[in-house]
Amino acid sequence: MDSLSIRSLLEDLKNADATVREQATKKLWRIWFQQKGIYGLEKIDNSQKLLDAGETTEAEKVLSQLIEEQPDFAEAWNRRAFLYYSIGDYQRSLADCQMVINLNPVHFGALHGMGLCYAALGKYREAIQAFQNALKIQPYSVVNQKLILECTFRIS
């Protein structure tokens, strides 16, 4: 998909119409997951099945191999960041989220993930910044708005 289409979808995330925003969000996720075609999508799907089955070590191996083969595949980094977050390895999750942002600066999922990691580490100011950065892309995200309030409450 060309950058004009992606820019249009990013603008749709700021639309007052919730249906327009939801469709744009789904399309962006689809683009990100399909960036490397069927092979990348199958590997991510396989890793998710392993993760769902509690086989985190195997899921990590699949994602790490995919990242080694295709280091510019932002969603592979994002899925591994999610895996690390899910097992409480917040530092490694943060590092992978940062790689996602380096590859895809508008990846609101990775920005949200960074916020979750910072909050889990008790770094509430950094968490707020990450959630605010996600809101610049998805201004109607209620979850990020709520998390900013929660982190602000924890600071005060």
CATH assignment at residue 113: 1.25.40.10
DSSP annotation of 104 reads -
- Identify whether 150 is part of a domain: yes
CB-side neighbour CA atoms (13 Å) of 142:
3
Which tokens hold the place of 132?
A: 């605010």
pLDDT (tens digit, 9 = 90+) per residue, 60-106? Answer: 999 999 999 999 999 999 999 999 999 999 999 999 999 999 999 99
Q: How many domains does the chain have?
A: 1
pLDDT (tens digit, 9 = 90+) per residue, 107-117? Answer: 999 999 999 99
> In whole angstroms, what is the distance from residue 10 CA to residue 148 CA?
22
Does position 4 have pLDDT exceeding 90, yes or no?
A: no
The average pLDDT across 108-130 equals: 98
9 Cβ contact partners less than 8 Å away, ≥ 6 residues apart = 24, 27, 28, 31
Give the CA radius of gyration of the chain: 16
Confidence band (pLDDT; 50, 70, 90) for 3?
A: confident
Does position 1 have pLDDT exceeding 60, yes or no?
A: no
- Identify whether 31 is part of a domain: no
> In whole angstroms, what is the distance from residue 116 CA to residue 98 CA?
13
- Identify whether 54 is part of a domain: no
- Identify whether 40 is part of a domain: no
The average pLDDT across 135-149 equals: 97
- Identify whether 93 is part of a domain: no
> In whole angstroms, what is the distance from residue 68 CA to residue 78 CA?
14
C-alpha distances in Å from residue 17, one per residue of 14, 22, 66, 96: 9, 9, 37, 32
Q: Which SS3 state, helix, strand or coil, does residue 156 take?
A: coil
Residue type, 43: K
Does position 2 have pLDDT exceeding 70, yes or no?
A: no
- Identify whether 129 is part of a domain: yes
Confidence band (pLDDT; 50, 70, 90) for 40?
A: very high
- Domain enclosing residue 115, as ranges: 106-156
The average pLDDT across 32-50 equals: 96
- Identify whether 35 is part of a domain: no
- Identify whether 60 is part of a domain: no
